[in-house]
Amino acid sequence: MCGISGAVGLKNISQVLFEGIRNLEYRGYDSCGVALMNKKRIVIKKDIGGVEEFYRKHNVLQMESKTGIAHTRWATHGKVTLENTHPFTSNEKNFAVVHNGIISNYRPLRDQLKKEGYKFFSETDTEILAHLLEKFYKSSRNVEKAFIKMLNIIEGTFALAFISSHLPDHIFCAKRESPLMLGIGDEVKFIGSDFNAFIDHTKNAVILDDGEYAILSRDAYVVKNILSKDEVIKPITKIEWDSETTKKGGYPHYMLKEIYEQPQTISTALDLEASGLDDIVDLFVESENVYLLGVGTTFYVAKYAKYIFSKIAKEFFPSISSDEFLALANVDKRSLVFSASQSGETYDTLSALKHAKSKGARTGAVVNVMGSSIARLVDKVVLQGSGPEICVISTKAALSQMVILTLIAMKLALKKKVITRKVYNTHLRALRELPEIIEGVLNERSGFIHRLANKYSSSRNWLYLGRGIYYPIALESALKMKEVAYVHAEGMPGGFLKHGTLAMIDDDIFSIVFVPPPEDKALYEATMHCIEEIRARSGFVLGIHFTQQGKNQDLYSEELILPKVPSLTAPLIQLVIGQLFAYFTATSLKRNVDKPRSLAKSVTVA
Ligand code: AGP
């Protein structure tokens, strides 16, 4: 949801800002722009489209400046036009502002400013900020005072930053419910929506909390509370990721790189078994009712966890899409609300957790980004350590979350004495074999999946079917297909098909069925029934299964055979196939894989 980057102090910060917003482009890439201080004058350059093209077209790297801010936009208020692109300047051009979030009371403020003679050139909520700064500066002749006054009248969510020709060697910024952090170098200071904005220059970060603002110059920075105006002494967070891990490392896309990183990220997740989960398990034990939350992919992670908790720990924990949480959940101090979030910044999940907290519920989360809002908000957090996930499509983070939630379910079951230590160890062995099996599948099956995806890339309608725990795998695989290939794909429980959708089966509908290993007899047979139903209507079925070659010759139109694996990990291996099938379909259709249209990596708006 928009990326902000800023720097003050270097001889020329153009290159730094370029790298900053390029690294943040996964947050939004509709348009971008910079505001640079040049001899006490603010120079603005902006355009629609991506960062690299913008820099090339406008020769921005040639523009010298020691202080500047930059922005890459994901449109919320106002269409994708040059006029709506950040930064915005005040009418006298003494302030330039960038913003991420939504100013909810911008309409009355804009009407008032218009009455006072301020001219507006965009449809955005952000432009009022520049005018408010100018207006309040006129009465106080003090930039910080004008800033505080503006912060106290705007409502909604924001990470915002500005530069001003009245104090040319400074950057001002503030945060409420949208992420913003400072990078602390020796003779240079940075701001960024996340670490990626300055990771090449410093590993020292200060994470702003809601209701704080900061002022930065080459040699100093100060963080203050918006309401009290008192200085807040903030800890320095050491960034553990390095920029190398965020680069593509020879893969054509981040998505493929991140799919191939899964053996590693699962191993890292499994390291938590020894040390990192006991507190969380206690939370589950102590709570009378548990809700599992997530949205988009992490909703499917929560759904997967629902099946795992039921299967292993004999507990029924409902899974709720975070955006529906308020409408559904009745929580109180006996409840636990446990969520999954890659970014830790997703508005829907964050506000659901805040609501839960306000009702006295316990909260927990598995999160990939340390220092993120959700990581800091919840009572107990599991940092999954999957490393930066740059592609907008979530793959490795989701799979690791599923593994971590399986570990939690196993520990809960052991604690409740629902399973013996022996069974626990059998499950653990199965999980520990997973990285190697996935590595093998990636190496040996991707060529075939690639060919299959090319062959069927013109299919416009896919049904993804799975029963039991394979149902969330079907849902998540279908979501991958929709978001990266822009192909209609509908995930559905296998048993649901005959209750309506079967009527659609014809030459134009292609089905993928996630077939459990035959050892899971009941589920396997139930899945077979749904395949028969499709085949009886001459429908196309791609079966992803674990039985031997040739055994099902007449059943499938195409089949992808996987090695024999324990039933605990079978669905996770099939998810990797779902990810690859979506990826190769997208490349075959020449989609913008890492930055699909209309999406953004972390959705920090309602
Ligand atoms: C994943 O591929 C999606 N782009 C999206 O559904 C995502 O999972 C969702 O927005 C939640 O994000 P989070 O994990 O960062 O909270």
Percent of the chain at pLDDT exceeding 70: 97
| Residues 156 and 280 occupy one common structural domain | no
Residue 244 confidence (pLDDT) above 70: no
Is residue 261 domain-shared with residue 205, that is, in the same domain?
no
Angstrom distance (rounded) from CA 519 to CA 497:
23
Confirm whether 434 is domain-assigned: no
Q: Are 99 and 158 in contact (CB under 8 A)?
A: yes
Q: Give the confidence band of 1 by pLDDT, cuts at 50, 70, 90.
A: low
356 and 281 housed in the same domain: yes
- Which pair of structure tokens corresponds to residue 511? 């089905």
**Do 17 and 85 lie in a common domain?**
yes
Q: Indicate if 209 and 282 belong to the same structural domain.
A: no
Tell me the pairing of strands 171-176 and 212-216.
Answer: antiparallel
Lookup: tokens for 251: 């893969």
State the alpha helices, DSSP H only, in 456-488.
470-485
- What average pLDDT score do residues 445-458 get? 93
| Cα 436 to ligand 1 centre (Å) | 26
Q: Rg of the Cα trace of the chain? A: 26
Sheet of 212-216, strand order = 88-89, 95-103, 156-164, 171-176, 212-216, 221-225
**Domain match, 108 and 211 both:** yes
Using an 8 Å Cβ cutoff, are 340 and 381 in contact?
no
Same-domain status, 491 and 413:
no
The boundaries of the domain holding residue 373 are: 244-419
Q: Can you tell me the distance from the alpha carbon of 150 to that of 114, in angstroms, rounded to the nearest whole number?
A: 16
Residue nearest to atom 16 of ligand 1 (CA): 341
Same domain, 359 and 298: yes
- Indicate whether 605 pLDDT > 70: no
> Is residue 440 one of the residues assigned to a domain?
no
603 occurs within a structural domain: no
Tokens of 145: 């005072």
Which of 75-89, 376-390, 542-556 has the least mean pLDDT?
A: 542-556
Domain end: 403, 419, 435, which one? 419
Indicate which CATH number applies to the domain containing 18.
3.60.20.10
Specify whether 17 is located in the same domain as 165: yes
Residue 431 covered by a domain: no
Same domain, 250 and 227: no
Of 1-10, 297-306, 561-570, minimum mean pLDDT range: 1-10
Distance 146 CA to ligand 1 centre (A): 37
Residue 60 pLDDT? 77
Number of domains present in the structure of the chain:
3
Query: Distance between CA 52 and CA 308 in Å, rounded?
Result: 44
pLDDT tens, position by position, 278-298: 999 999 999 999 999 999 999
The mean pLDDT value of the chain amounts to 92
Q: How far apart are CA 272 and CA 338, in angstroms?
A: 17
Residue 315 lies in a domain: yes
Taking the centre of ligand 1 as the mean of its atom positions, its distance from the CA of residue 355, in whole angstroms, is 20
In a domain, 213, yes or no: yes
* Domain assignment present for 437: no
Q: How confident is the model at residue 10 (pLDDT cuts 50, 70, 90)?
A: confident
The atom of ligand 1 lying closest to the CA of 602 is: 15
Domain boundary among 239, 263, 278: 239
Q: Is residue 569, in this structure, part of any structural domain at all?
A: yes
Domain C-terminal end among 207, 239, 271: 239
Q: For the residues 198-207, what does the mean pLDDT come to?
A: 92
Ligand 1, atom 5: nearest CA belongs to which residue?
A: 296
pLDDT at 370 over 90: no
For residue 498, the domain's CATH number is 3.40.50.10490
560 and 452, same structural domain?
Answer: yes
Residue 191 and residue 271 in one domain: no
Ligand 1 lined by 179 (C-beta under 6 Å): no
Alpha-carbon distance of 477 to 479, in angstroms, equals 5
pTM as predicted:
0.78
Reply yes or no on whether the pLDDT at 602 is more than 80: no
Angle at 69 (CA atoms; ends 192, 93), nearest 5 degrees: 150
